[in-house]
Chain A
């Protein structure tokens, strides 16, 4: 009874799309966070093992982080299209 009433309300209001877009953007943020966190972790370990290579490691870390952020922003673009394209 509760579920069917809730579903009727949601379908009538037609906000499932916006809810989906918001959840999708959040998931993309989680994905980017995990990915860039792993890069940061291995960069820190590399620098700790060999401080002379810190410059090279830092440059590579920034480049890979930018690439991963690009993928997360693909998902953000899709979510924004859902929210704002009439």
Chain B
């Protein structure tokens, strides 16, 4: 979905409010296949790359904007990003599929700016990196976990006040 009105309509159909918004970046589909397996040497078509990147980023941004008023009425006020460990700019050793990985990095940044903006009003955030190994807890389990938070403590003394990406074994993956 990239049409703002379509997104608003879809979210409004959820009712007065909801608790959790789950975001993800599609791995493949459509034009993305034209870039599959290509390194910087392999004649990447940057116009296709831009189309995919722009689609993914704007889709996430518009969905979040439409959802915020409804999340405010929910109890959890939770925004979730389903991603994978190759979204880590620091750690990834990927050489191909630029559109997917650049989109994942962009989605991480969107989560961070959302966190900066909405955490002070009580929103909570989860980033789950699925490494495909079926080990540990699932995304569904993780997104429902409560992280340590004591309102009267120092801000830094709380896991809920940090935006972290974790895998199924709850290992933190650097951004």
Partners in one complex: no
Q: Which residues of A contact B (CB under 8 A)?
A: none
Q: Which residues of B contact A (CB under 8 A)?
A: none
